[in-house]
Amino acid sequence: MTDIVETIVNCDGVSVFYGENRAINNISIDIGKQSITAFIGPSGCGKSTFLRTINRMNDTIEGCRIEGRVTVDGQDIYDASVDVVPLRAKVGMVFQKPNPFPKTIYENVAYGPRIHGLARNKSQLDDIVEKALTGAGLWAEVRDRLQDSGTSLSGGQQQRLCIARTIAVEPQIILMDEPCSALDPIATSKIEALMSELSNEYTIIIVTHSMQQAARVSQKTAYFHLGNLIEYGDTKEIFVRPKDPQTEAYISGKIG
Amino acid sequence: MPLTKTEQIVNASLKARRKKERAFQLFGIAAIALALFFLVTLMGSILSKGIPGFFQYYITLEIELDRERLDPLGDLSEQSLFDGQAKKIIEEVVLEKTGAKSRNGRKAARKLLSNGSDTRLTSFVRANPSLLNSTQKVKFALDDDADSYFRGFVKKETPEQQRRLSNIQIEYLDKMNEDGLISHEISDYLFFGSASRNAEMAGIKGAAIGSVLTLLVCFVIAFPIGVATAVYLEEFAPKNKITEIIEININNLAAVPSVVFGILGLAIFINLFGLPRSIPLVGGMVLALMTLPTIIISSRAAIKSVPPSIRDGALGVGASKVQATMHHVVPLAIPGMLTGTIIGMAQALGETAPLLMIGMVAFIVDIPGSVTEPGTVLPVQIFMWADFAERMFVQKTSSAIIILLLFLILMNGGAIWLRKKLERRW
Amino acid sequence: MLTIISVSVIFLGLLFYVVGTTKITRICDAAGIRPHSLFMYHGSFPAILAVAPPLVLLSLWVVADDIVFNMMLEARFPEGLEVEGRQTILILLAQIRNIAEGIIVGQPDDWIIGLADTLSNWRNTSDTIIAGITVGLSVICGLFGISRVKPEFRARNAVEALLLTGLGICSLIAIITTIGIVFSVIFESIRFFKLVPPLEFLTGTVWNPEFEGAARAGSGQEGMSAYGSIPLFVGTFLISIIALSVSVPVGLFSAIYLSEYASKRVRGTVKPLLEILAGVPTVVYGFFAALSVAPFFRETGGMFGLDVASESALAAGFVMGIMIIPFVSSLSDDVISAVPQSLRDAAFGLGSTKSEAIKKVVLPAALPGIVASIILAVSRAVGETMIVVMAAGLAANLSLNPLDAVTTVTAQIVTILVGDQEFESAKTLSAFALALTLIFITLVLNFFALQIVKKYREQYD
């Protein structure tokens, strides 16, 4: 393992259960600030489940139970005193399928700042929306039609709108759950470029199905298999010199 | 680590937002609590009035069954018993038990027993001819005012002019009660009596049979037609304008208020076709048209839930489309269709307004023997009784409601049971 | 008679089934070949032909005979007979029918007895004729079916075609019912509008049908009866508004809580309990309203010095609201549950509290569906009859005060049409005009609701 400049997420012995089924098995991992970490692995390996433990999105699933410790910024997020609202404001999430609200583009982005009260007045809100849309690389495309429905955009634009919606709250961490799996290659490359840019400001954790994507965007990669964390390290290392035979088998396409 | 600006703002807003969250949840809980409160009040109000209605006060009298007086013709025929002196015999016993002497006293005493007492005695004689010429204990219903006295609705403290029983009548009732003649028992009139203006004699038997006959007609018409329509529309109908019009029609019919179906019955079945009023046949036909949309819609859903693989399997071995449908799809969909039909029938059982329009509201004492004889149904009976002011009718109405609700629970429970039992997971 | 004819036709059908199967077996055995279709179909084809057309004919006759006889009798009424209006004719016809069936009341005129005899003669003759025709038709159709039975005859396809025709005819019942509804109100309504101008009906503010309306024209009684339907519609509107103000908040919040907050167990218990409210017959609600709720409101109002009518709009509307709660809640529950989970995830992912996600994302997304369910609830309230008949009273007051007694369209229809009616009177006819407007209103409401639901579905498909 390489050193981490500054740890922001720390997981210690995390297991996740769906009813009786153990989906995640005793995972410990440290994630560094302002970097991109990729979770890879075959489908059903638990990488998305694990990602959702970091902002407690698993809470919305009935019968889901978590053991172990997850800390963000040194705070145990499963502590009874923790409120998920500020947690999720701090750890934002972008989902697999673009899911804009059936509202205008403007309202989609303004939603987060509005509920959290981040803007004092209309012009501040306008600024936040513009900044977020610019940050998501969408401003130029939508500046003239902010009042159009968010669902009227193309798939790639919708996903960037969802990213804009997330960064409008100015989180510290952005979780991305296979954000490009529903997109075509051109849209994908735009999102990847955006991720690199965002990583200057935000910590990004991305679950991806595509090894190439992990190799292209991430600094660190974690390989999951059947609910276990098999290997975690610098992306270059993992792809060039995997230590674990299972990782190697996956990377070389023997399992998938 | 210092908090970012976002974190500071979010943390500051938390308290107020949590409060709103709790208030919102509280609204939800309050709404449910209110709805359940309404349910409990409704049921409570009906049960509290209806359960006493299942009972009424009887008086047991020793009657000398003198054959010559009761059955002057000696053949136990209706005419003979009618000619007999049943009424007089009972009155003599009552006068003896009350000890009424004066003219007014005798008049008052006679009014304490139900008007139907003589009929009760003659039918007792008819059922037990061997007991003639002996002395037997026979139970008679009290008149509804006397009954109300024992229920506590008529109070001694009320000034005489303001209550329906005179002082002397109350005195007689108390006396007979002290002598142990009065008993409080399950009302046989409620279950076996028919429509009557005398509250103590009124019963639901005629209405219940009318309901059964009406539902029978409704089922016989609506189920086959509903299923046939559903099968046709779901499996065979070409996608054209006519099919579309039929589908729109079915949806619209489901939205038409029930009273309109009553007008249809009145204008078409009675005035145009010349069918008689008040008969279960017409009632059943009207209700069938009304429940048809429910049956069609649920039958279509049942057919839709049969997976196409079943159909394909049958077609794959060379069955025709009709065979695949009739041999495989329809039998698999039958439980769902039946469930929908039972629910539709339950609606029909509770329906009142359309039946009022086709004259089932008439006062009919005879119990209908077939679907073409005049009759009424339970909900209409309830409607009619609800109009009578006597306290005892209020209770009997509530009792009839309880019985109607029991029927409905039975039917809906049956539908749920059927669905659970025959439910198939694909 | 009917039973005998039906049974013999069915018996003929069975006979033809046997003949059909026997014939095909014999031919095939002799020739040593297999027929195109199963033996069963070769038997069913003539059997269906022998049974279905005669029975259809028979049932048509059953429906038509009285209509035909009435027309024929009317034609034979003695000349110079003074008949006032359709109503008298109907009474005379009923009298003739009764006498023909042996029920004689009083001393009927000779010509009436004569016609009654004629009628019984007709009936006897027609019975014989229809029996002959039906059985004859059955035999002819059956024989035709038998003649088609040959080894190469596609009996299965023929039987299936017959079956499909039958199914198709059944599906036409829905259209026939609609036509029946339209017919049963439209003619009488037109006749009503000949007596009372539509403008007066639609804009008049006094509803008072108690005086005989047929005498309106030129008898000096004008103005005594009034057919302005505004008070009825205002009453309907008032009661519906009261009902909605009970059922919409309660139903909607219940639906939100049950679909978004409640655990599976709570949901599994509460939902069926709420559904019970929908299963209670309306006459029970009417009884409850008239006997428990109305006196309660009256007493409570009295305590605050308010004068509440014993049959107040409030009591009827309130109880109607209780009845509609499950209607609103289950429809809203459906639309709320149909909002994709991904939208909720997105809102939670941004750090919304649950209520924020519901208020700002789920409800706006479900709004069209909720609106549709409220429209359907309105249409239910407008068409509801028994509660208003039993609890709202018949006083056609033009009032928006919920404490007053008002009346509704449905209550008036029932009151006018229950019991003996006078035909040709504007009073009776007015019920049909009211029904026409009622049908129109509910269909328009239903149309809008379905349109909204359709649009809403497209949004998420």
CA–CA dist C215, C232 (Å, integer): 23
Our count of domains for chain B comes to 2
Residue B93 domain flag: yes
Tell me what the mean pLDDT of segment B138-142 comes to. Answer: 88
Radius of gyration of chain A (CA): 18
The closest alpha carbon to B406, from C75, A250, C284, belongs to C284
Nearest of B350, B381, B285 to residue C385 by alpha carbon: B350
C265/A contact by beta carbon, under 8 A: no
- Decide: pTM greater than 0.95: no
Which of C253, C250, C200, C240 is closest to C222 using CA atoms? C200
* CB distance B113 to B140 below 8 Å: yes
Chain B residues within 8 A of C283 when measuring between CB atoms:
350, 352, 379-380, 382-383, 386
Residues of A in contact with B6 (CB under 8 A): 89-90, 116, 118, 169-171
B12: confidence class by pLDDT, cuts 50, 70, 90:
confident
Are B106 and B72 part of one and the same domain? yes
Q: C170, C261, C266, C291: which to substitute to probe chain B, counting the most B Cβ within 10 Å?
A: C170
C344-378 per-position pLDDT tens digit: 999 999 989 999 999 999 999 899 889 999 999 99
Residue of A nearest to C357 (CA): A115
Residues of A in contact with C341 (CB under 8 A): 60
Q: In the predicted model, what is the mean pLDDT of chain C? A: 86
Same domain, yes or no, for B248 and B166?
Answer: no
Residues B258 and B216 in one domain: yes
Domain end position, chosen among B159, B186, B213? B186
Q: Do C181 and B401 touch (CB under 8 A)?
A: no
pLDDT of res. C82: 66
Express each pLDDT in B293-349 by its tens digit. Answer: 999 999 999 999 888 888 887 887 777 888 888 888 898 898 889 989 999 999 999
* Chain A residue with minimum CA distance to B21: A85
Q: Tell me which of B352, B376, B392, B412 to substitute to probe the interface with C (most C C-beta atoms closer than 10 Å).
A: B352
Q: What residue numbers bound the domain in which B402 lies?
A: 205-422
Q: Does B420 touch chain A (CB under 8 A)?
A: no
Please give the share of chain B, as a percent, with pLDDT higher than 70: 99
| C258 in contact with B, Cβ within 8 Å | yes
The answer to whether residues B98 and B164 belong to one domain is: yes
| Banded pLDDT at C277 (limits 50, 70, 90) | very high
Residue C132: Cβ within 10 Å count: 11
Which of B46, B237, B256 is closest, CB to CB, to C181? B256
Task: Please count the residue pairs, one from chain A and one from chain C, whose beta carbons lie less than 8 angstroms apart.
Answer: 74
Residues B304 and B264 in one domain: yes
Are B399 and B258 contained in the same domain? yes
* Residue range C91-143, pLDDT digits in tens: 777 778 778 777 777 777 788 888 888 888 888 888 888 899 999 999 999 99
With a CB cutoff of 8 Å and minimum separation 6, the contacts of B373 are B279, B280, B366
Residue of A nearest to C359 (CA): A115
Q: Is residue A149 part of a domain?
A: no
pLDDT of residue B7: 83
Beta carbons within 8 Å of C436's beta carbon, 6+ residues apart: C185, C186, C189
Per cent of chain C over pLDDT 90 is: 41
pLDDT digit string, tens, across residues A71-129: 998 889 998 888 888 888 889 999 888 888 888 999 999 998 888 888 889 999 999 99
**From the CA of B230, how many Å to the nearest CA of chain C?**
8
- The domain that holds B380 is classified in CATH as 1.10.3720.10
Within 8 A of B17 by CB-CB distance, chain A residues are: 85, 115
What dotted CATH number matches C230-457? 1.10.3720.10
Vertex C196 angle, CA C191 and C199, to 5°:
115
What is the number of structural domains in chain A? 1
Alpha-carbon distances of C145 from A248, B401, C16, rounded to whole Å: 77, 55, 9
CB C460: neighbour CB atoms within 10 A? 12
Say if CB A96 and CB A177 are below 8 A apart. Answer: yes
Q: Which of B186, B220, B245 is the last residue of a domain?
A: B186
How big is chain C by its Cα radius of gyration, in Å? 31
With CA atoms as reference, the chain B residue closest to A167 would be B6
Q: CA nearest B11 in A: which residue?
A: A86
* The predicted structure's pLDDT at residue C218: 46
pLDDT value of position B68: 83
Are B416 and B305 within one domain?
A: yes
Do residue B253 and residue B300 come from a single domain? yes
Q: Which residues does chain A have with pLDDT short of 70?
A: 1-5, 254-256
- Stretch 18-47 of chain B: residues touching chain A, C-beta under 8 Å: 18
**Which residue from A84, A115, A165 is facing C360, i.e. has the nearest CB?**
A115
B9 contact C CB<8A: no
C342 touches chain A (CB under 8 A): yes
Which residues, in sequence order, are CB contacts of C19 under 8 Å at separation 6+?
A: C43, C46, C142, C146
Q: What are phi and psi of A29, to 5 degrees?
A: -160, 145
**Which residues span the domain enclosing A29?**
7-96+173-251
Percentage of residues of chain C with pLDDT beyond 70: 92
ipTM: 0.90
Chain-chain contact of A172 with B13 (C-beta, under 8 angstroms): no
Structural domain contains residue A25: yes
pLDDT at B230 over 90: yes
Contacts of A57 (CB under 8 A, 6+ apart): A88, A93, C345, C348, C349
* C249·B31 Cβ contact <8 A: yes
Q: Are residues B227 and B318 in the same domain?
A: yes
